[in-house]
Protein backbone atom coordinates (compact mmCIF):
# COMPACT_ATOMS: atom_id res chain seq x y z
CA UNK A 1 0.00 0.00 0.00
CA UNK A 2 1.47 3.35 -1.06
CA UNK A 3 4.71 1.68 -2.07
CA UNK A 4 5.03 -0.57 0.98
CA UNK A 5 3.85 -4.03 1.92
CA UNK A 6 0.19 -4.12 2.94
CA UNK A 7 -0.05 -4.04 6.77
CA UNK A 8 -2.14 -6.63 8.61
CA UNK A 9 -4.62 -3.99 9.83
CA UNK A 10 -5.32 -3.04 6.21
CA UNK A 11 -6.01 -6.64 5.18
CA UNK A 12 -2.67 -8.37 4.49
CA UNK A 13 -1.80 -10.49 2.66
CA UNK A 14 -4.32 -9.25 0.13
CA UNK A 15 -7.28 -6.92 -0.01
CA UNK A 16 -9.58 -6.61 -2.98
CA UNK A 17 -9.69 -3.08 -4.41
CA UNK A 18 -12.76 -2.07 -6.38
CA UNK A 19 -12.94 1.71 -6.73
CA UNK A 20 -16.61 1.87 -7.59
CA UNK A 21 -17.97 -0.35 -4.84
CA UNK A 22 -18.39 0.18 -1.13
CA UNK A 23 -15.90 -1.09 1.44
CA UNK A 24 -17.78 -4.27 2.29
CA UNK A 25 -17.31 -5.38 -1.31
CA UNK A 26 -13.54 -5.12 -0.87
CA UNK A 27 -12.73 -8.04 1.43
CA UNK A 28 -9.59 -8.09 3.56
CA UNK A 29 -7.32 -10.99 4.56
CA UNK A 30 -7.87 -12.84 1.28
CA UNK A 31 -5.77 -15.99 1.05
CA UNK A 32 -7.44 -17.79 -1.80
CA UNK A 33 -9.35 -16.76 -4.93
CA UNK A 34 -11.65 -19.25 -6.59
CA UNK A 35 -13.47 -18.87 -9.89
CA UNK A 36 -16.93 -20.43 -9.66
CA UNK A 37 -19.86 -21.13 -11.94
CA UNK A 38 -22.66 -19.61 -9.90
CA UNK A 39 -22.73 -16.61 -7.61
CA UNK A 40 -25.74 -17.79 -5.66
CA UNK A 41 -26.24 -20.95 -3.69
CA UNK A 42 -22.66 -21.63 -2.68
CA UNK A 43 -22.99 -24.24 0.04
CA UNK A 44 -26.10 -22.56 1.34
CA UNK A 45 -24.52 -19.11 1.67
CA UNK A 46 -26.57 -17.94 -1.17
CA UNK A 47 -27.04 -14.17 -1.50
CA UNK A 48 -23.66 -13.40 -2.96
CA UNK A 49 -21.43 -12.98 0.07
CA UNK A 50 -20.99 -12.66 3.82
CA UNK A 51 -22.57 -9.21 4.19
CA UNK A 52 -25.16 -9.85 1.47
CA UNK A 53 -26.46 -12.77 3.54
CA UNK A 54 -27.04 -10.23 6.31
CA UNK A 55 -29.15 -7.88 4.20
CA UNK A 56 -26.55 -5.72 2.51
CA UNK A 57 -27.07 -4.82 -1.13
CA UNK A 58 -25.42 -7.29 -3.50
CA UNK A 59 -23.97 -4.68 -5.84
CA UNK A 60 -22.91 -2.02 -3.34
CA UNK A 61 -21.74 0.38 -6.04
CA UNK A 62 -21.07 4.11 -5.87
CA UNK B 1 -50.74 23.49 59.06
CA UNK B 2 -51.00 19.90 57.79
CA UNK B 3 -52.20 19.43 54.25
CA UNK B 4 -55.13 17.06 53.87
CA UNK B 5 -54.98 14.97 50.70
CA UNK B 6 -57.91 12.93 49.52
CA UNK B 7 -57.53 9.20 48.86
CA UNK B 8 -58.53 9.56 45.21
CA UNK B 9 -55.89 12.24 44.79
CA UNK B 10 -53.18 9.82 46.04
CA UNK B 11 -54.34 7.07 43.67
CA UNK B 12 -53.92 9.14 40.51
CA UNK B 13 -50.15 8.62 40.24
CA UNK B 14 -50.67 4.85 40.60
CA UNK B 15 -53.25 4.88 37.83
CA UNK B 16 -50.97 6.96 35.69
CA UNK B 17 -48.11 4.58 36.35
CA UNK B 18 -50.22 1.55 35.46
CA UNK B 19 -51.48 3.29 32.33
CA UNK B 20 -47.98 4.25 31.26
CA UNK B 21 -46.66 0.75 31.95
CA UNK B 22 -49.48 -0.80 29.96
CA UNK B 23 -49.01 1.64 27.13
CA UNK B 24 -45.28 0.94 27.05
CA UNK B 25 -45.84 -2.83 26.92
CA UNK B 26 -48.45 -2.40 24.19
CA UNK B 27 -46.15 -0.14 22.19
CA UNK B 28 -43.28 -2.62 22.54
CA UNK B 29 -45.57 -5.43 21.40
CA UNK B 30 -46.69 -3.38 18.43
CA UNK B 31 -43.08 -2.64 17.60
CA UNK B 32 -42.09 -6.30 17.71
CA UNK B 33 -45.07 -7.40 15.66
CA UNK B 34 -44.13 -4.62 13.24
CA UNK B 35 -40.68 -6.21 12.86
CA UNK B 36 -42.29 -9.53 11.98
CA UNK B 37 -44.65 -7.84 9.54
CA UNK B 38 -41.70 -6.48 7.56
CA UNK B 39 -39.77 -9.74 7.40
CA UNK B 40 -41.16 -10.46 3.95
CA UNK B 41 -39.74 -7.22 2.61
CA UNK B 42 -36.19 -8.52 3.02
CA UNK B 43 -36.92 -11.37 0.63
CA UNK B 44 -35.35 -10.95 -2.80
CA UNK B 45 -38.77 -11.78 -4.29
CA UNK B 46 -40.52 -8.94 -2.44
CA UNK B 47 -42.19 -6.33 -4.65
CA UNK B 48 -41.34 -3.63 -2.07
CA UNK B 49 -37.72 -4.58 -2.30
CA UNK B 50 -37.83 -4.46 -6.09
CA UNK B 51 -39.33 -0.96 -5.97
CA UNK B 52 -36.62 0.22 -3.56
CA UNK B 53 -33.94 -1.30 -5.77
CA UNK B 54 -35.33 0.51 -8.79
CA UNK B 55 -35.32 3.84 -6.94
CA UNK B 56 -31.76 3.09 -5.84
CA UNK B 57 -30.80 2.44 -9.43
CA UNK B 58 -32.51 5.66 -10.55
CA UNK B 59 -30.67 7.69 -7.90
CA UNK B 60 -27.39 6.15 -9.02
CA UNK B 61 -28.02 7.02 -12.67
CA UNK B 62 -29.07 10.60 -11.85
CA UNK B 63 -25.91 11.05 -9.77
CA UNK B 64 -23.80 9.81 -12.65
CA UNK B 65 -25.65 12.08 -15.07
CA UNK B 66 -25.22 15.22 -12.95
CA UNK B 67 -21.77 14.66 -11.47
CA UNK B 68 -19.97 12.56 -14.03
CA UNK B 69 -18.47 9.12 -13.78
CA UNK B 70 -15.42 10.10 -11.75
CA UNK B 71 -17.03 12.31 -9.11
CA UNK B 72 -17.72 9.54 -6.60
CA UNK B 73 -14.57 7.51 -7.03
CA UNK B 74 -11.77 10.01 -7.36
CA UNK B 75 -8.16 9.02 -7.62
CA UNK B 76 -5.83 10.88 -5.26
CA UNK B 77 -2.09 11.30 -5.29
CA UNK B 78 -0.07 9.95 -2.38
CA UNK B 79 0.44 13.52 -1.13
CA UNK B 80 -3.32 14.00 -0.83
CA UNK B 81 -3.79 10.94 1.37
CA UNK B 82 -3.33 11.34 5.11
CA UNK B 83 -0.66 8.96 6.41
CA UNK B 84 -0.90 6.51 7.99
CA UNK B 85 -4.16 5.56 6.33
CA UNK B 86 -6.77 4.60 8.89
CA UNK B 87 -7.80 0.97 8.56
CA UNK B 88 -11.48 0.05 8.72
CA UNK B 89 -13.37 -3.12 9.63
CA UNK B 90 -11.47 -5.88 11.41
CA UNK B 91 -7.95 -4.60 12.09
CA UNK B 92 -6.49 -7.14 14.51
CA UNK B 93 -7.83 -10.60 13.66
CA UNK B 94 -6.99 -13.31 16.16
CA UNK B 95 -7.49 -16.28 13.85
CA UNK B 96 -4.67 -18.75 14.31
CA UNK B 97 -4.20 -19.41 10.59
CA UNK B 98 -3.81 -15.72 9.89
CA UNK B 99 -1.37 -15.23 12.77
CA UNK B 100 0.79 -18.10 11.53
CA UNK B 101 0.69 -16.78 7.94
CA UNK B 102 1.68 -13.30 9.15
CA UNK B 103 4.69 -14.75 10.97
CA UNK B 104 5.68 -16.46 7.70
CA UNK B 105 5.19 -13.16 5.84
CA UNK B 106 2.24 -14.54 3.88
CA UNK B 107 4.32 -16.78 1.67
CA UNK B 108 1.64 -18.74 -0.07
CA UNK B 109 -1.51 -17.54 -1.81
CA UNK B 110 -3.51 -19.43 -4.37
CA UNK B 111 -5.65 -18.41 -7.32
CA UNK B 112 -7.67 -21.21 -8.79
CA UNK B 113 -10.36 -21.86 -11.38
CA UNK B 114 -10.95 -25.52 -10.83
CA UNK B 115 -11.91 -27.38 -7.67
CA UNK B 116 -9.67 -30.24 -8.74
CA UNK B 117 -6.71 -27.88 -8.49
CA UNK B 118 -5.62 -28.31 -12.10
CA UNK B 119 -5.93 -24.59 -12.75
CA UNK B 120 -4.53 -23.49 -9.43
CA UNK B 121 -1.71 -21.04 -9.31
CA UNK B 122 0.50 -20.54 -6.34
CA UNK B 123 1.30 -16.89 -5.94
CA UNK B 124 4.36 -17.45 -3.86
CA UNK B 125 6.40 -14.90 -2.02
CA UNK B 126 3.87 -12.12 -2.40
CA UNK B 127 5.78 -9.60 -0.40
CA UNK B 128 9.40 -10.20 -1.23
CA UNK B 129 11.66 -11.16 -4.12
CA UNK B 130 13.59 -13.62 -1.99
CA UNK B 131 12.88 -17.34 -2.38
CA UNK B 132 10.07 -18.40 -0.11
CA UNK B 133 11.02 -21.36 2.08
CA UNK B 134 7.38 -22.16 2.87
CA UNK B 135 6.00 -22.15 -0.69
CA UNK B 136 5.12 -25.50 -2.17
CA UNK B 137 6.49 -25.56 -5.68
CA UNK B 138 4.49 -27.45 -8.28
CA UNK B 139 4.20 -27.52 -12.09
CA UNK B 140 2.42 -24.38 -13.25
CA UNK B 141 3.49 -22.36 -10.24
CA UNK B 142 3.78 -18.66 -10.87
CA UNK B 143 6.11 -16.82 -8.55
CA UNK B 144 5.32 -13.19 -7.87
CA UNK B 145 8.18 -10.90 -7.13
CA UNK B 146 8.53 -7.60 -5.36
CA UNK B 147 7.43 -4.14 -6.49
CA UNK B 148 4.18 -3.46 -4.65
CA UNK B 149 3.63 -0.07 -6.28
CA UNK B 150 5.04 -0.74 -9.73
CA UNK B 151 2.87 -1.37 -12.81
CA UNK B 152 4.35 -4.86 -12.97
CA UNK B 153 3.93 -5.43 -9.22
CA UNK B 154 2.09 -8.26 -7.46
CA UNK B 155 -1.39 -6.78 -7.92
CA UNK B 156 -0.84 -6.43 -11.65
CA UNK B 157 0.56 -9.96 -11.94
CA UNK B 158 -2.32 -11.31 -9.85
CA UNK B 159 -4.72 -9.76 -12.35
CA UNK B 160 -2.90 -11.49 -15.18
CA UNK B 161 -3.12 -14.82 -13.38
CA UNK B 162 -6.83 -14.33 -12.72
CA UNK B 163 -7.49 -13.29 -16.31
CA UNK B 164 -5.68 -16.37 -17.54
CA UNK B 165 -7.47 -18.68 -15.10
CA UNK B 166 -10.93 -17.18 -15.73
CA UNK B 167 -10.55 -17.47 -19.50
CA UNK B 168 -9.48 -21.07 -19.19
CA UNK B 169 -12.08 -22.07 -16.65
CA UNK B 170 -14.93 -19.92 -18.07
CA UNK B 171 -16.26 -19.19 -14.59
CA UNK B 172 -18.35 -16.01 -14.35
CA UNK B 173 -18.04 -15.38 -10.61
CA UNK B 174 -15.19 -15.05 -8.14
CA UNK B 175 -15.16 -16.41 -4.60
CA UNK B 176 -12.74 -14.79 -2.17
CA UNK B 177 -11.65 -16.90 0.77
CA UNK B 178 -10.72 -14.79 3.78
CA UNK B 179 -8.77 -15.77 6.86
CA UNK B 180 -10.46 -13.58 9.47
CA UNK B 181 -13.62 -14.17 11.48
CA UNK B 182 -15.89 -11.19 12.10
CA UNK B 183 -18.46 -12.77 14.40
CA UNK B 184 -17.44 -14.99 17.27
CA UNK B 185 -20.83 -15.49 18.94
CA UNK B 186 -22.39 -18.90 19.57
CA UNK B 187 -24.78 -18.54 16.62
CA UNK B 188 -21.85 -17.86 14.33
CA UNK B 189 -20.00 -20.93 15.61
CA UNK B 190 -23.02 -23.13 14.91
CA UNK B 191 -23.28 -21.65 11.42
CA UNK B 192 -19.62 -22.38 10.81
CA UNK B 193 -20.02 -25.97 11.95
CA UNK B 194 -22.95 -26.47 9.61
CA UNK B 195 -21.01 -24.82 6.83
CA UNK B 196 -17.93 -26.97 7.41
CA UNK B 197 -19.94 -30.16 7.29
CA UNK B 198 -21.46 -29.28 3.94
CA UNK B 199 -18.40 -27.64 2.40
CA UNK B 200 -15.84 -30.32 3.29
CA UNK B 201 -13.17 -27.66 3.33
CA UNK B 202 -12.96 -25.27 6.26
CA UNK B 203 -12.83 -21.56 5.75
CA UNK B 204 -13.47 -18.90 8.33
CA UNK B 205 -15.32 -16.70 5.88
CA UNK B 206 -16.25 -16.70 2.23
CA UNK B 207 -17.30 -13.76 0.15
CA UNK B 208 -18.09 -13.60 -3.49
CA UNK B 209 -18.35 -10.83 -6.02
CA UNK B 210 -18.86 -10.28 -9.72
CA UNK B 211 -16.28 -11.90 -11.97
CA UNK B 212 -12.72 -10.65 -11.81
Indicate yes or no: CB of A28 within 8 angstroms of CB of B180: yes
Chain B, 7-26: which have a CB under 8 Å from a chain A CB?
none
Indicate yes or no: CB of A35 within 8 angstroms of CB of B73: no
The pLDDT tens digits of the residues spanning B52-68 come to: 888 888 888 888 888 87
Give the C-alpha distances (Å, rounded to integers) separating A30 from A7, A16, A40, B50, B197.
13, 8, 20, 32, 22
Distance from CA of A22 to the nearest CA of B (A): 10
pLDDT band at B122 (very low <50, low <70, confident <90, very high): very low
The pLDDT tens digits of the residues spanning B89-104 come to: 888 899 988 888 888 7
Which positions in chain A touch B92 (Cβ < 8 Å)? Answer: 8-9
Q: Is A46 on the interface with B (CB under 8 A)?
A: no
| pLDDT of A27 over the 70 cut | yes
| pLDDT of B207 over the 60 cut | no
Global ipTM: 0.89
The pLDDT tens digits of the residues spanning B173-200 come to: 777 888 888 776 544 444 443 333 333 3
- pTM exceeds 0.80: no
CB within 8 A of B43, min separation 6: which ones?
Answer: B49
Mean pLDDT over residues B152-159, rounded?
59
Give the C-alpha distances (Å, rounded to integers) separating B193 from B65, B89, B152, B198.
47, 24, 41, 9
Amino acid sequence: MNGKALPVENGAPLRVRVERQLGYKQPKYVNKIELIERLLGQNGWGKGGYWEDRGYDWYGGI
Amino acid sequence: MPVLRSKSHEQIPDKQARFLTGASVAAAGLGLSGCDAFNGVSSSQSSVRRVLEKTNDLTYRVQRLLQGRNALAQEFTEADIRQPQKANGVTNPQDEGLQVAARQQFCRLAAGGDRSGRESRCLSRWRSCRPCPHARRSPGTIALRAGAASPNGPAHRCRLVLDQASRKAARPATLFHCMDTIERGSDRQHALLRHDRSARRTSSRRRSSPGA
